[in-house]
Amino acid sequence: MYKIGFIGLGIMGKPMARNLLKAGYKLIIYDINADVIKELIKDGAKEGKSSCDVASQSEVIITMLPNSPDVKEVVLGENGIIKGINPGSVLIDMSSIAPLVSRELAEKLLQKNVVMLDAPVSGGEPKAIEGTLAIMAGGPEETFNKVKDILNAMGSSVKLVGEIGSGNITKLANQIIVALNIAAISEAMVLATKAGVDPEKVYQAIRGGLAGSAALDAKMPMILNGNFKPGFRIELHIKDLINALNTAKELSVPDTLTSKVLEILQELKAEGKAKDDHGGIIQFYEKAAKVEVRKKA
Ligand code: NAD
């Protein structure tokens, strides 16, 4: 079994690392947040002193960090992975970042005889805990097959979609669909509530039909309880939609709906809601319509 390094143990990384420990892998971990390291040491992980140190002791290194600049810093920065990584190792970046950054990092690592996969995930914290994430990977098939068992310990749907960067392109598509879906749910449920119909009954009536979705089932119970604790933070969805818009501009494809939902997210951020769950998109509509979509007492 490969010795795995894991860097970035936040909302997603922590449960993913726990599932690797449960599957029997030896784990060396690093995060700038010392508290989370203590928790995982109790579960059997070993602490590395830096990203460089983690890389030097591992055969496969996984990163699960917020954004492109964080991954660049952890891979290329002072005490970064590239300084310690052994030739022949594999880096799996599971963060959602700009596809061009994945390609740039993969080229730099190849000079050290290290292959990189971009393998972002979907499913949020609940599926990270269950080990049932959807994992969408990009990179050479041979490397993907080499580390597939590791990915299977964290996800129930593990797919290679193409060359390096394809994982993050797929994730951008995923994030457009999720953001627009939550915005549509919000617009619809505020309308129904303002019209005097119980939103919980609306949800139950439509969830089995064509309007049903994983997003509806994940977010409606939270909305009905007024629970916007993340989950997936609005600020992270802003990051993903900006990456999607940049990619759409590069390719000259329309981004009409994505740019509209990005405006809504930016407005919520300006109101101090950047750290709310993205289910909090509904608050934009609730404020405008002066109604709250909540369970009846
Ligand atoms: P998070 O902010 O909870 O976790 C990030 C972790 O990285 C934190 O523990 C932080 O301390 C650590 N970190 C940051 N900079 C570091 C550095 N330089 N060195 C070491 N550690 C560092 O974020 P998250 O919600 O776990 O998301 C991680 C990635 O997964 C993001 O790209 C996000 O878009 C994506 N994602 C999140 C969800 C979700 O529901 N939260 C779902 C799918 C994908």
Nearest CA to ligand 1 atom 31: 66
- Hey, do 3-163 and 169-289 end up sharing a CATH topology, with the first three levels equal? no
Overall average pLDDT of the 156-160 stretch:
98
SS3 155: strand
How much is the CA Rg of the chain, to the nearest whole Å?
Answer: 20
Is residue 31 in contact with ligand 1, taking CB distance under 6 Å? Answer: yes
Overall average pLDDT of the 83-112 stretch:
97
Is residue 125 in contact with ligand 1, taking CB distance under 6 Å? Answer: yes
Is residue 65 in contact with ligand 1, taking CB distance under 6 Å? Answer: yes
What is residue 224's predicted lDDT score, i.e. its pLDDT?
A: 98
Q: What is the pLDDT of residues 209-256, one digit of tens each?
A: 999 999 999 999 999 999 999 999 999 999 999 999 999 999 999 999
Is residue 232 in contact with ligand 1, taking CB distance under 6 Å? Answer: yes
What is residue 77's predicted lDDT score, i.e. its pLDDT?
A: 98
Report the relative pairing of strands 115-118 and 90-93 from DSSP bridges.
parallel
The class of domain 3-163 in CATH terms is alpha beta
From 1-10, 12-21, 145-154, the region with the lowest mean pLDDT: 1-10
Tell me which amino acid residue 103 is.
R
Phi then psi for 290, rounded to 5 degrees? 55, 50
Q: How far is the CA of 161 from the centre of ligand 1 (A)?
A: 23
In the structure encoding, which two tokens stand for residue 273, read together? 């809601």
Q: What is the pLDDT of residues 263-293, one digit of tens each?
A: 999 999 999 999 999 999 999 999 999 999 9
Q: How far is the CA of 7 from the centre of ligand 1 (A)?
A: 10
What is residue 2's predicted lDDT score, i.e. its pLDDT?
A: 83
Confidence category of residue 297, pLDDT binned at 50, 70, 90? confident
Confidence category of residue 1, pLDDT binned at 50, 70, 90? confident
Is residue 73 in contact with ligand 1, taking CB distance under 6 Å? Answer: yes
Q: What percent of the chain has a predicted confidence (pLDDT) above 90? A: 99
CATH number 1.10.1040.10 given to 169-289: yes
Confidence category of residue 177, pLDDT binned at 50, 70, 90? very high
Catalytic residues: 171
* In the chain, where the domains are located: 3-163, 169-289
Interatomic CA distance for residues 243 and 257, integer angstroms: 15
Burial 259-271 (b: 16+ CB within 10 A, else e): eebbebbeebbee
44: left (phi over 0), alpha (psi -120 to 50) or beta: left
Q: How far is the CA of 26 from the centre of ligand 1 (A)?
A: 21
Say yes or no to pLDDT of 34 above 80.
yes
